[in-house]
Copies of this chain bind each other. A is one copy, B any other.
Amino acid sequence: MQYDKTTLPLVVTIPIAAEPPSLHDNTADLDRLRTAVTKSLPQALAGRRLFIPFQAMAVVAHGFRLAGFTGHALLNVFPDHLDLIDYFGQEPEHIAAVALDLGTTHLEATLVDVSCGDILAHAHCPNRQMEYGADILSRIHFATDKAQGPDGLGRMQRAAVDSINTLVLALAGEAGIEPESIRAMSISGNTTMAHLLLGLSPYHICREPYTPLINAPDPFAGSEIDLNIHRLAPVWVLPSIGSYFGGDLISGILASGLDRLEETCMLIDVGTNAEVVLGNRDWLIACAGAAGPALEGGVAKMGMRAGPGAIEHVHLDRENWQLQVQTIDDLPAVGICGSGLIDLVAELYLAKIVDLRGKFRRDTTSGPRQRRDFVSKYVLKTEEGLAFIVTPSEISGHGKPVILTQVDLDAMMRSKAAMYAILTTLVNQVGVDFSELERIFVAGAFGKHIDPAQAITLGMLPDLPLSVYRSVGNSSLQGAELILLSEEARLRSRDIGRKITYIELNVNQEFMIRFSGSRFIPHTDPHLFPSVPVFRDEMPEGQA
């Protein structure tokens, strides 16, 4: 294969033909092989220093003799050196590697044949660290507070490794290969996930001045953290920018190509945090904030990840007052995911069942009869205030109703306000107007399922033509795949870290002001959302 930087994987095989030893040339086997490899390197690798790691020596020497000195050398590729790891008589069918999105709640991975880019398998599983805490802060607490028990950090690390090894077994099984034939892994996750995986204390991540222990770790061998892959497989952890801006977002930048575009664009990734990057090939600016929980199913009682049985879309037919609910895999509803929640609240706002403050209204006296019946049936008074039945227990997937309470709605309003405040704070930092944005990439499960029109109705995303928005799927995973396949991506991931300006919202006054202004539907300044109807007459007295 001809390589250039954009097609140079983290692991390559190189065909080798060496002369057997003789009395005229009894060079030592591995020195002979070293010379042969150096001579056989493709242009893209020429001149890099070649090392033979201690643990590879005996295996490589054995393989080289067994193959009669002609075969294929397997090399780990680093920016300025190469590690000679293995030797085969026959070229292996696949050079398998794992790309991993190491999420706080969920892991998703693909098995990639890096020799051709084919996806051999796909798998996901929960993060076993959930046992020690649902969110990042509770995990940091568990890992660093001795009162939680001894070796919290070690237990957290092992939980992450166990989760990954579970995925590795699933991937290897699906592809019909042995785990130890997996030759590399790239890992994309937030800064805390990276620290816990590496066994590094995340103590200072959540404490002013919010300092990680490391942003850009050097690659290490899989066996260093007991990953169930080849013991010398290089593990490439995507670099972070700061405590609240992780490698998952660097992945998103790689996958969207934001750092190479001429026109200014934006990338929004909503996970546990909302992370946003603005920029183009010349400059990048980023910030992150806690906008996510309600949108990722972490807060709402009936909230859930976008998985089977999650309500992902809601439509309210205001002619016939029929609620249409669409679930993932068309299964009976068991909860509601972020996109469903956005749809629901937007539809309820347009139906005047939620007012511009984000409060339920139970007006059973006005409007047509069908509306009055609908409100009577679906909007309930409970001990904790009003609530909305999305799916009654009779037709739900778990025998309980799927309900949105006022408490959950309030959380959702805070999340949507935070999101818009983050976006406006960021564009304001560089004096760009939303209308100047060529494109807004929306990443993650959130981006995959969200209807931008509904998010605009809520005032969560700016009021731009829908064609500006583009869903980019799990860009954390896509970026990890690029890391496996392209040296350019590996170098870019480091360059992005050096190039990006990060705005710390934890101490940003402007953000706090903009957050307050965003806690209405669509906004206290409705001129920002010309396409959204404003029902000012619905506002209770005393509000302006």
Which residues from chain A sit less than 8 Å from chain B, CB to CB?
A: 21-23, 26-31, 49, 51-55, 57-58, 61-62, 80-81, 198-201, 204, 208-218, 220-221, 224-225, 240, 242-243, 504, 507
Contacts and interface: CB of A to CB of B under 8 A. Distances in A.
Contacts of A240: 28
A62 B201 CA distance: 9
Given A23-B504, A30-B217, 13 more contacts: A21-B209, A22-B209, A23-B209, A28-B240, A28-B242, A30-B215, A54-B198, A54-B225, A57-B213, A58-B213, A61-B200, A80-B80, A80-B81
Nearest to A216: B31
Question: In this complex, which of A28, A61, A243 has the most chain B Cβ atoms within 10 angstroms of its Cβ?
Answer: A28
Contacts of A51: 218
Contacts of A27: 211, 215
Tell me the dominant secondary structure on chain A's binding face.
loop
Q: So how many copies of this chain end up in the complex?
A: 2
Contacts of A55: 224
A225 B216 CA distance: 29
Contact of A214 (B22, B57, B214): B57
A201 B61 CA distance: 9
Nearest to A22: B209
Given A49-B80, A51-B218, A218-B51, A57 B200 contact: yes
A49 B218 CA distance: 11
B242 A26 contact: yes
Contacts of A62: 201
A426 to B, nearest CB: 18
19 contacts: A23-B210, A26-B242, A27-B211, A27-B215, A28-B211, A28-B212, A29-B214, A30-B213, A31-B214, A49-B80, A51-B218, A52-B217, A53-B220, A54-B198, A54-B224, A54-B225, A55-B224, A58-B198, A80-B80
Contact of A54 (B201, B213, B221, B242): B221
Contacts of A242: 26, 28
Contact of A57 (B22, B198, B507): B198
Nearest to A200: B58
Interface pairs A-B: 9 shortest CB-CB: A54-B220, A28-B212, A30-B214, A28-B215, A21-B211, A26-B209, A23-B209, A61-B213, A54-B224
A485 to B, nearest CB: 23
A151 to B, nearest CB: 13
A162 B254 CA distance: 50
A61 B21 contact: no
Contacts of A217: 30, 52, 54, 57
A30 B204 CA distance: 13
A141 to B, nearest CB: 19
Contact of A201 (B23, B58, B80, B208): B58
Contacts of A220: 53-54
A333 to B, nearest CB: 43
A27 B199 CA distance: 19
A201 to B, nearest CB: 7
Contact of A507 (B23, B49, B214, B225): B23
Contacts of A204: 21, 29
Given A53-B220, A220-B54, A214 B61 contact: yes
Nearest to A221: B54
A200 B65 CA distance: 13
Nearest to A51: B218
Nearest to A504: B23
Contacts of A224: 54-55
A77 B528 CA distance: 60
A31 B239 CA distance: 11
A498 B51 CA distance: 17
A211 B69 CA distance: 13
Nearest to A497: B31
Nearest to A507: B23
Nearest to A243: B26
Contacts of A209: 21-23, 26
A14 to B, nearest CB: 19
Question: In this complex, which of A62, A198, A220, A243 has the most chain B Cβ atoms within 10 angstroms of its Cβ?
Answer: A220
A530 B53 CA distance: 55
Contacts of A31: 214-216
A241 B447 CA distance: 62
Nearest to A215: B28
A210 B200 CA distance: 48
A501 to B, nearest CB: 13
Contacts of A200: 57-58, 61
Contacts of A58: 198-201, 213
A217 B200 CA distance: 32
Contact of A52 (B21, B201, B211, B218): B218
A19 to B, nearest CB: 12
A324 to B, nearest CB: 48
Nearest to A54: B220
Given A55-B224, A61-B200, A29 B504 contact: no
